Amino acid sequence: MAKVIDSKIPAGPVPEKWKEYKAHQRLVNPKNKLKLDVIVVGTGLAGASAAASLGEMGFNVINLCIQDSPRRAHSIAAQGGINAAKCYQNDGDSVYRLFYDTVKGGDYRAREANVYRLAEVSNNIIDQCVAQGVPFAREYGGMLANRSFGGAQVSRTFYAKGQTGQQLLLGAYSSLSCQVNAGKVKLYTRYEMEDVVIVDGRARGIIAKNLVTGQLERFSANAVVIATGGYGNTYFLSTNAMGCNCTAAVQCYRKGAYFANPSYVQIHPTCIPVHGDKQSKLTLMSESLRNDGRIWVPKKIEDAKALQAGTKQGWEIPEEDRDYYLERRYPAFGNLVPRDVASRAAKERCDKGFGVNNTGLAVFLDFSESINRLGLDIIMQRYGNLFEMYEEITDVFPGDLANEINGVKYYKPMMIYPAIHYTMGGIWVDYELQTSIPGLFAIGECNFSDHGANRLGASALMQGLADGYFVLPYTIQNYLADQAVWPKVSTDLPEFAEAEKKVDAELDRLLNIKGKRSVDSIHKELGHIMWEYVGMGRTAEGLKTGLKKMHELEKEFDTNLFVPGSKEGLNIELDKAIHLRDFFTMGQLVAFDALSRNESCGGHFREEYQTEEGEAKRDDENYFYVGCWEYKGKGNEPELIKEPLEYEAIKVQTRNYKN
Ligand SMILES: Cc1cc2nc3c(=O)[nH]c(=O)nc-3n(C[C@H](O)[C@H](O)[C@H](O)COP(=O)(O)OP(=O)(O)OC[C@H]3O[C@@H](n4cnc5c(N)ncnc54)[C@H](O)[C@@H]3O)c2cc1C
């Protein structure tokens, strides 16, 4: 029988209401003399917004990141936009509708209360960012412009061309810089958190590695917040930045923080297909393209075969021989179905032999209809940088006229295929964003978040900034109110010394294996196992095989790894080896969770559990819970703990994007 936890009871001690209120008043008073330190690990949108807000509220913040500047956090890559329920388009949007769409998009596996709060603060985020000067796209009349993303029938996505993440991060960074200047935030760039230090059951600090000197350093504080992003790179090939890793999250998990829903991994339908085995990165073509691009494969298998052989081009296939399979299967949402649905539909077509490139693993994303309707200028205004990026990578410009059949102009289509993109699973947090370790908080993509089993497009930035600007700065005070009377612990405590010693010993262990294989060669193999057995279509048998193969490969890692150089100074290979050690733990966790969940929901698709039409088949009777995992040591199976889901405002039903 699995243990059961309740999200409504914060993991830390709950202070009496009156005491909490008084302490809260003291903390937010600008004249307060209290010194409360908070470590924020990460400077992506979640970390930078949290550090800036906490600094502004009077806390002393220690903020770390692995890049040389907070502006280079992976959040910078976000292209398409950020959702909010402003209803500027007068199309019937509302807080409730955003809340409903998000819960439905997540296949009814999100925590309802969190999602409602997220929808409520979504509008504040836009106001906050506009005030910071974020240059959102505007209509001719000056109103902020919107477009649509998957899983929604309204236009609620705010955007800055195809660079929304970059512009939002610049906004957060300017707020952060103000606090650095005011002395409230101390920034440590090129530092990597290697461990969290627990003193008397509470998170009291971290051990971080100075990535330039190689030195280990100790930091102590009254609370620790991790905002270190997702674990998509476990799969080696993903749309994530190369530096994305799950080391901080996995260390927290090893120290007792529950890890929730690891099997919920998002596979994004519109990425540039894999084109060779020397690739180390995949490129996303933003979901915003599905506003005007139509996805299709040929209707006739002989056309598909000719495309695969290179004897025919997409633009030679006339309209009547094209299968716009998303529009056919899901008439109500068409090309804007959620990502999990679109990805599986692409896989289904390609598995049946209708793929359109030489590997048979690609479908077309075609702008002919919208260019004919709106003109190339308008399409370029909307997606210019994405078209250019596609051309740079593939040498095909999607706006080039290629053919005319029966008076219809055909433009060169993009080719796309699903790829690992985002992780809905993460460190378990309660409603206050506190993990199961008191004093340790997790925000942004690294927590298990508000997206359930599938995240809707443009909702990650919303969640990261909601956590950082509007949730954590308030909820953390419920914990800190109680801490105000405690002195900050010394980094000379034995707990710090022991944690540092263990990290140091790990570095020695990895350096001294002195085997024959590079980190990347093993990581690539792990990625193949993950994609093959723990990827888009999973089976119990495949997951068991995947776990077995991962164990074997982990042994290879432990005995045959070669890390050049030493601990001193910059050693990127050593840093990558640490990340890979943790990707192994993560990969196994994803597989355990996927194996334990005998149903299909959102990004977790078990082939044994599907409808006759190939749709995901949930089992609400047995799996209506957040699956949390407790670490039980290397090589041991983790223990499952369940947080039952409770829905009060939304009726749980089968997702329907057809009508
Ligand atoms: C190509 C692409 C496009 C996307 N487009 C969109 C979009 O249009 N809309 C949307 O809503 N979402 C989008 N997403 C998702 C979104 O960008 C991310 O989910 C979000 O930016 C994550 O923010 P974060 O702050 O949680 O983490 P990140 O931005 O990943 O930041 C992590 C931070 O933690 C630091 N860090 C990591 N490990 C350590 C460690 N051990 N020690 C110290 N520091 C550490 C890093 O230095 C970094 O500062 C996109 C994602 C990708 C890959």
pLDDT tens digits, 230-265: 999 999 999 999 999 999 999 999 999 999 999 999
| Pocket probe mutation, ligand 1, options 61, 64, 65, max atoms within 8 Å of Cβ | 65
Q: Enumerate the β-bridge partners of residue 192.
A: 209
Q: Which two tokens stand for residue 579?
A: 């990340």
Q: What are the tens digits of pLDDT across the range 73-92?
A: 999 999 889 999 999 999 99
Other CB atoms within a 10 A radius of the CB of residue 617 amount to 16
Q: Which two tokens stand for residue 548?
A: 């077995």
Residue 308 has pLDDT above 90, yes or no: yes
Q: Is 73 in the pocket of ligand 1 (CB under 6 A)?
A: yes
CA-proximal residue: ligand 1, atom 53 (nearest): 240
Spell out the alpha helix ranges (H) of 366-448.
368-374, 376-394
Q: Is 164 in the pocket of ligand 1 (CB under 6 A)?
A: yes
CA dist list (Å): 449 to 201, 256, 263, 431, 442: 24, 18, 13, 10, 9
Residue 367 has pLDDT above 50, yes or no: yes
**164 CA distance to ligand 1 middle (Å):** 13
What pLDDT sits at residue 99?
96
Q: Please confirm, yes or no, whether 328 is among the known catalytic residues.
A: no
**610 CA distance to ligand 1 middle (Å):** 32
Q: What are the tens digits of pLDDT across the range 17-39?
A: 444 544 544 455 445 555 789 99
What pLDDT sits at residue 379?
93
Q: Is 270 in the pocket of ligand 1 (CB under 6 A)?
A: no
Q: Stretch 125-142: mean pLDDT, rounded? A: 95
What pLDDT sits at residue 150?
80
Q: Is 586 in the pocket of ligand 1 (CB under 6 A)?
A: no
- 192: burial class by Cβ within 10 Å (0-12, 13-18, 19+)? buried
For residues 352 and 214, give the distance between their C-alpha atoms in angstroms, rounded to a whole number.
51
**Conformation bin of residue 7: beta by default, left when phi > 0, alpha when psi is -120 to 50:** alpha
Q: Enumerate the β-bridge partners of residue 417.
A: 271
Give, as one character, the DSSP assignment of residue 256: T
Radius of gyration of the chain (CA): 24
Q: Is 15 in the pocket of ligand 1 (CB under 6 A)?
A: no
Q: Are strands 185-189 and 60-65 parallel, antiparallel or unpaired?
A: parallel
Q: Which residues of 130-142 are buried (b: 16+ CB within 10 A; e: fewer)?
A: eebebebbeeeee
Residue 14 has pLDDT above 60, yes or no: no
Spell out the alpha helix ranges (H) of 484-564.
494-512, 519-533, 540-560
Other CB atoms within a 10 A radius of the CB of residue 402 amount to 15
**177 CA distance to ligand 1 middle (Å):** 19
For residues 46 and 248, give the distance between their C-alpha atoms in angstroms, rounded to a whole number.
15
**227 CA distance to ligand 1 middle (Å):** 9
For residues 166 and 633, give the distance between their C-alpha atoms in angstroms, rounded to a whole number.
39
Q: Is 195 in the pocket of ligand 1 (CB under 6 A)?
A: no
Nearest ligand 1 atom, CA 239 = 53
Give, as one character, the DSSP assignment of residue 319: G
Q: Stretch 426-433: mean pLDDT, rounded? A: 97
Q: Enumerate the β-bridge partners of residue 65.
A: 189
Nearest ligand 1 atom, CA 461 = 11
Q: Is 64 in the pocket of ligand 1 (CB under 6 A)?
A: yes
Strands of the sheet containing 191-199, edge to edge, are: 191-199, 202-210, 216-220
Residue 217 has pLDDT above 80, yes or no: yes
What pLDDT sits at residue 15?
43
Catalytic residue among 339, 349, 538, 597: 339
Is 190 within 8 Å of 212 (Cβ atoms)?
A: yes
Is 252 within 8 Å of 207 (Cβ atoms)?
A: no
Q: What are the tens digits of pLDDT across the range 436-489?
A: 999 999 999 999 979 999 999 999 999 999 999 999 999 999 999 877 766 678
CA dist list (Å): 436 to 128, 353, 356, 644: 31, 47, 47, 16
Q: Is 438 in the pocket of ligand 1 (CB under 6 A)?
A: no
| Pocket probe mutation, ligand 1, options 228, 238, 393, max atoms within 8 Å of Cβ | 228
Q: Is 248 in the pocket of ligand 1 (CB under 6 A)?
A: yes
For residues 404 and 402, give the distance between their C-alpha atoms in angstroms, rounded to a whole number.
7
Give which of 522, 657, 652 is closest to 584, Cα–Cα: 522
Residue identified by tokens 């390609």 is: 350
Single-letter amino acid, residue 457: G
Where does the pLDDT of residue 329 fall: very low under 50, low under 70, confident under 90, or very high at 90 and above?
Answer: very high
What pLDDT sits at residue 13?
44
For residues 415 and 412, give the distance between their C-alpha atoms in angstroms, rounded to a whole number.
10
**123 CA distance to ligand 1 middle (Å):** 21
What pLDDT sits at residue 261?
98
What pLDDT sits at residue 620?
97
Q: Is 591 in the pocket of ligand 1 (CB under 6 A)?
A: no
Is 392 within 8 Å of 340 (Cβ atoms)?
A: no
Nearest ligand 1 atom, CA 462 = 11
Q: Report the Cα 34 to chain-centroid distance in Å.
A: 35
Q: Enumerate the β-bridge partners of residue 208.
A: 193, 217
DSSP helix/strand/coil, 304 = helix
CA-proximal residue: ligand 1, atom 9 (nearest): 458
Residue 407 has pLDDT above 80, yes or no: yes
CA-proximal residue: ligand 1, atom 38 (nearest): 228
CA torsion sign for 49, 51, 52, 53 is positive
For residues 471 and 124, give the distance between their C-alpha atoms in angstroms, rounded to a whole number.
12
**111 CA distance to ligand 1 middle (Å):** 22
**230 CA distance to ligand 1 middle (Å):** 7
Tell me the average pLDDT of the chain. Answer: 92
Give DSSP secondary structure letters for 170-202: HHHHHHHHHHHHTTSEEEEETEEEEEEEEETTE
**476 CA distance to ligand 1 middle (Å):** 22
What pLDDT sits at residue 5?
63
Residue identified by tokens 């692995």 is: 66
What pLDDT sits at residue 3?
64
Q: Is 229 in the pocket of ligand 1 (CB under 6 A)?
A: yes
What pLDDT sits at residue 23?
52
What pLDDT sits at residue 345?
93
Q: Report the Cα 627 to chain-centroid distance in Å.
A: 18
Where does the pLDDT of residue 395 fall: very low under 50, low under 70, confident under 90, or very high at 90 and above?
Answer: very high
Give which of 21, 426, 64 is closest to 224, Cα–Cα: 64
What pLDDT sits at residue 7?
56
pTM: 0.92
What pLDDT sits at residue 27?
52
**617 CA distance to ligand 1 middle (Å):** 30
Single-letter amino acid, residue 535: G
What pLDDT sits at residue 656?
79
Q: What are the tens digits of pLDDT across the range 543-575?
A: 999 999 999 999 999 999 999 999 999 999 999
For residues 415 and 290, give the distance between their C-alpha atoms in angstroms, rounded to a whole number.
13
| Pocket probe mutation, ligand 1, options 45, 74, 386, max atoms within 8 Å of Cβ | 74
Single-letter amino acid, residue 39: I
Q: Is 284 in the pocket of ligand 1 (CB under 6 A)?
A: yes
Percent of the chain with pLDDT over 90: 84
Q: Stretch 327-353: mean pLDDT, rounded? A: 92
Give which of 172, 146, 174 is closest to 159, Cα–Cα: 146
Percent of the chain with pLDDT over 70: 94
Q: Is 41 in the pocket of ligand 1 (CB under 6 A)?
A: yes
Give which of 514, 529, 431, 547 is closest to 479, Cα–Cα: 431
